[in-house]
Structure formats: C-alpha cells, structure tokens
Amino acid sequence: MRITPVKAIPLLLYILIAASLLSGCGSSESAQSDQSNESVNAAQSDWTCDSEQDGLGETTGCTSTVEDGDGVYWTLMLMCTSDLRTLHSVTGIYPSGSSVYWPIQNTAKIRIDSGPLQDVRVTTKASGQGLVFLESLNASEDASTWDLMSKIASAKTFGFKAADADGYSRSALFKVAGSVPIAAKFSVMGCKSS
C-alpha cells in the first residue's frame, strides 16, 4: 500500500488511536515517554513497530495496516506491555475518523495464506472498538495472542471476516510476513502466553 501525503495524516492518527486503545494508555503518558521507532527485520517484515518506556519498563507495539476498497483503515496490532501482557486486536477507522464497533461476543472466519477457512470465537475491548481473536472460549488474551502469533509465524497473509455491531460484514487481508522476530522480542521482554 502506498500512502499519499493526504492519507498519511489520518493513517498516523489511526495508528496512534489503535495503540492507545490496546495499551489503555492516555495520550499524556505517551507524550512524556521516551519514544523510539524501530523496525523488526525491516527488509523482510510487513510490520511497523514502536517502543516506548514508562515507569515499569518497555512497551512494544507492532502493526500491520491496510486500507480496504471503502477507505476503511484496518490495523492488526500485536503488543507486549511494560506490565508483561501480550495483547492483540483488529481495529477499523472509517474515512470520517469514526471507529468500527464490534458486538461483545461473536464468531469470525479467518484464513492464513490460502489455507482453509477457520471459524474462531472473538470478543471485544476498548468499548467495542477492538476485535480480539480467542484461542478458546475461556482463553486469556495473553494465550490468545500467542496462539495468533503461532498461526501467522510462517504466513504471508492473515485475513478475517466478521459482522460489526450493526450486522454489516467487514473483512480485511493483512500482510504479516516477518512476525517471528516480533514474537522473539516479546519473549525476551518477558511477555508470556499466560
């Protein structure tokens, strides 16, 4: 995806909103923190990663972003927080800047590369703005995030399709090559599956 200067500002705003939703941090904390941009094996990765320090340590978030045919920006985010939580979500932002909302519990279809369709349970967070893929019905988000990272470890693409809170079918296809170094970094930072 090529970003034109006009679209770069909404995309940057979207990524900042998505990171805030996942981490639960307000913008005042991130403004005071020491931020650094880093690339995880940039030559072979479809991910953009950012790290910042806070009172507990380092938080790293990695995103894969795509724009669909309707102009909705979709972001798949993986995160290891300073309190050693491993989190993930899919968020969508309409061209108007408003968020796509999801029902609290639902199912989705996912596809890794050109593999078979898989039905998975999903839940939400951030008042319904973040879609979370569950490993199993009662799995923690930590375990579910590691399960997702395991599924995409050797993949080039990850696609999903789910109904939003208004019942409309939403889908996106993310480029996810190069996720193994992200999992390795999270492990070194101390983020575990439970």
- Residue by residue, DSSP assigns 178-190 as T-HHHHHHHHHHT
- Which of 3-7, 52-56, 107-111, 175-179 shows the lowest mean pLDDT across its residues? 3-7
Report pLDDT digits (tens) over 18-33.
444 444 433 333 333 3
CA–CA distance, 15 with 119 (Å, rounded to integer): 27
Q: Residue 108 carries which side chain, given as an amino acid letter?
A: A
CA–CA distance, 14 with 16 (Å, rounded to integer): 5
For the cut 90, the answer to whether the pLDDT of residue 16 exceeds it is: no
In order of their start, the domains of the chain are 5-189 (2.60.40.1880)
CA–CA distance, 128 with 22 (Å, rounded to integer): 12
